Amino acid sequence: MPTHLDEYKAAHEEITLFQREMHRTWVWAIMPAGVVYTWLASHPLPSGVLKSLWFIPAVILLICYKRYEAFNWRIEVLANYLLEIEEGAFGTAMNVELRGMAHYNREHSDPKKLVRHARWAWWGLIAASLVLSSWLFFSPPSQPTNDRPALPQTNTNNSLNISLQPATITPINDRSVSLQARSNNSAFKPPQPITNTPVK
């Protein structure tokens, strides 16, 4: 038979899981919306019903906001149940030093204030997405065109009249090189020393 301690642990783990999912909801809302805007801006859309695809990011943000509110509502229910368990275990006296984590969070923080700021951020994202989608719906971005004139292709080798011929290597005869070196050495005469002749 489960005890109040088991229920307390299970409720605390469930709250932690829901808080993690609430943080992931932000990522799941912002990243897909940015991807949709980028893809639609880089691909031409025909006029008509398909232009309403610009409102897909706003729909994604709205669905994620509802998911966020669902987790928040569930956390509030579990937090109130934790308060009741702590009051039954530690009492309701205000002079009790340790009355449980739920009471500590309620006294030293304002969860409603944090939720209120998060809601303002969600509403701001949804409003900005609606404004941007409406602007792109009525004035879609211009698509790049590939109407550039073709450049004339010239053959560089033919225009410069360059003939590529294989290089020829002339073999060197070691004997002729040595004979030429000897003839050069024999033809070389060292300078004669200068002698001072007396002047008569």
Q: Is the pLDDT of residue 156 over 60?
A: no
Which structural domain range is residue 98 located in? 4-43+52-138
pLDDT at 123: 95
Contact 54, 137 (CB under 8 A): yes
CB atoms within 10 A of CB 101: 13
Mean of the pLDDT values across residues 16-21? 92
At 45, is the secondary structure helix, strand, or coil? coil
pLDDT at 178: 54
Q: Does residue 171 lie within any of the structural domains?
A: no
Model confidence at 84, pLDDT cuts 50, 70, 90, reads confident
* Spatial CB neighbours of 34, under 8 Å, sequence gap ≥ 6: 57
For residues 65 and 90, which has the higher predicted lDDT (pLDDT)?
A: 65
CA separation for the pair 181, 191 (Å, rounded): 20
Q: Does residue 166 lie within any of the structural domains?
A: no
- Into how many domains does the chain fold? 1
Mean of the pLDDT values across residues 113-127? 91
In the chain, the amino acid numbered 62 is L
Q: Does residue 153 lie within any of the structural domains?
A: no
pLDDT at 111: 75
pLDDT, mean over the chain: 75
Q: Is the pLDDT of residue 51 over 60?
A: yes
Mean of the pLDDT values across residues 118-126? 94
Mean of the pLDDT values across residues 130-138? 89
pLDDT at 195: 58
Q: Is the pLDDT of residue 141 over 80?
A: no
Q: Does residue 196 lie within any of the structural domains?
A: no
Q: Does residue 104 lie within any of the structural domains?
A: yes
pLDDT at 86: 80
Q: What is the greatest pairwise CA distance in the chain? A: 144
For residues 159 and 106, which has the higher predicted lDDT (pLDDT)?
A: 106
